Structures are given as C-alpha cells and as structure tokens.
Amino acid sequence: MQIDGKQYLSVWFENERVKMIDQNKLPFEFRIAEYSNYLEICDAIREMTVRGAPAIGATGAYAIALAAQNAPEEKFRAYLRTARDELIATRPTAIDLRNGVNYVYEQTIKFIPDYRHSRQVAILAAREFAKKSIDDCYQIGKIGSEIVPHGARILTHCNAGALATVDWGTALAIIRIAHQQNKDIFVYVDETRPRFQGARLTAFELEQEGIPHTIITDSASGFYFWKKEIDLVITGADRICLNGDIANKIGTYEKAVLAKEHKVPFYVAAPFSTFDLATKEGADIPIEIRDEDEIKRINGTYLANPGSPALNPSFDITPAKLITGIITPKGIFKPKDAARQVQI
C-alpha cells in the first residue's frame, strides 16, 4: 500500500522482530510497532494494533516463527504448542488467525530435533503464508474488478483494505483496481462503530490513493439505498462457512438485508485462508464479545450514560441467501459453491 508515496506492508518480519503498522494510531499518527516475543503480539492482536482477518493470519504466522526463534531446545515442542494455543485464543471469530498459526506450527515441528533447521523453516513458512495472502488479494482485485461497472457507487463496511490484509486488501483490492482502470467509481464508507475502522482506516487508504469517497454514519446507508445512490456492496469476511454463511464486522448483516430489499448486488471478497470447511453454518461460529467501554467511551471520554450497560458483539452472521457471490482468487462463485473451490 502507498502511504505518503512510500510502499508498506501491514505486517512483516525483519531483524528477528515482527513489525506492523499500528492501526490504533491511524489516521492521526503513523507508527511502526515492533515485537520481539509472541506474548507481546498476543496483546497487539487483542488490542487491535493489527486487525483484519488476513492481517492477523499473517501476524499469527510470524508470531509462531518468532516463538520458534525464542523456544528453548529442551522444551521446543511444548513452547510452540503453548504459543499456538495462546495466539489462537486472542480473537476467536477470524479463522485466518488459526490457519496462519497452524500452518507455521505444523511446518516447524516436522524437523524436530533439528532445531536450527526448524527455526529457519518457521521463518520461511511464515513469509510464504504472508506472500500467498498478498498474491491472493491481488487476484481477488483483478477478478472482482470485472463486476464493477463504469461510474459505480459502491458501499463498503469496516476496513477490508491493505491494512486488513498484508497488502492490496479484499474489498478494497477490487476498488483499487477498478479505480486504476479509470472506471470513475465513488465509495460510500460506513464509519463502522464502535472502533471506526471505516471512518479511520478505509477512508485513510482511499485518500492515500486518490479514490473519490465519503464517510457516512452506519445508520445512513439505508437512506442512500432508498435514494438509489448505491449500485453495489462489497465487503470482506472474517470467516466463511461450508454452506456460504459468513461472519464479518458487526453491521454487515443489516447492509446485506438492505441490499436485498433494494435489489442491489451484495458481494463478499476473501482469500481461501478465510474459509472454514469444518464449520457447517453461521450459527456455529463463535462471536467475539468485546469490552463495553469501546461503545461507551472514546479516548477515555464518555459518549454514553456511564451507568448504563452496553453490548458489544464484534461480528455478525450474514446468511448465504443474502450474498450475490463470493469473490475468491479462483473466481466468483455462488456462496453454496465457494467452499468447494478450496478443496480443488
């Protein structure tokens, strides 16, 4: 991604450290966070210094690689197993995290007791996982741009951009490439309460690339559907089930319902690392519930009645019947058929 004219990845491994763009600081401050052990990275994932399903998948992969560098030989396997379990537990809904962690873990333990080789393999496997994510997202952008008509007015929710992946993004990869194709697009950016990933991060990415857009409140999208000013909805996903149901940022479901009511195509863009073939349907996905203070306070200042409780689910489920198609690195498929492509 381009930030002030310079190319960055959202997360990478360099000089025995995992480095990432601190997404909690954007767009007001650009900061690179650095971590030297996996426990620090567990905190970074929980605190959403890094967020977005593919991005935390790559972060988890790098974290296990880092754990392999630090693991004592006499407890190598046990140390890695503990690191694996603690990383996966940080955010239970996004399946990419588990997939990235498990991929590097399995590749690394194959070479025990050759610990030197195991450590080298861990770094190579993590970089391979991250590179695959970048390649997949670029393919999603190329394939998905075909569904974007000239002059399209697109609604997106949360941040499914380069910050949420390693580079390019999922939904925003499509938007980026459509913009590069001079399709004269315009993007409606949901603010995405309570952490404002749309208003802070998606808007930041679009501004950096000169893509025309505006921020709207989460509750305003129905108004623009009613005015017939939205032609297309594209979101990312945090998990895609065997039957095509998806989990994504809270509020995605209501966008899909509105799109269905107004006969507007609703597409989901995701790499294969986001598919969970072991989960049959959306009802089986664990939904992360975050602290109520994310709703009630911003930067320590109360915006809601302090004495009232608040509910803060981080994700919701959009059923397959509301999804026009799932855009993958292999093509665009009906939700019920998309998972089959992972197995081919």
Burial degree of 182 (CB within 10 A; 0-12, 13-18, 19+): exposed
Q: Look up 238 and say whether it is catalytic.
A: yes
Q: Which two tokens stand for residue 118?
A: 């195991």
Please answer whether residues 202 and 161 qualify as being in contact, where contact means their C-beta atoms are separated by less than 8 angstroms.
Answer: yes
Q: Which two tokens stand for residue 175?
A: 């938007």
Q: Which two tokens stand for residue 39?
A: 């426990």
Q: At residue 60, what are phi and psi to the nearest 5 degrees?
A: -60, -40
Q: At residue 14, what are phi and psi to the nearest 5 degrees?
A: -155, 130
Burial pattern 302-322, b for ≥16 Cβ within 10 A else e, equals: eeeeeeeeeebebbbbbbbeb
- Give the residue from 139, 129, 137, 127 showing the smallest Cα distance to 160: 137
Inter-CA distances, 293 with 43, 62, 145, 305, Å = 18, 30, 38, 11
* Selected catalytic residue, list 96, 238, 245, 276: 238
> Hey, which residues are catalytic here?
238
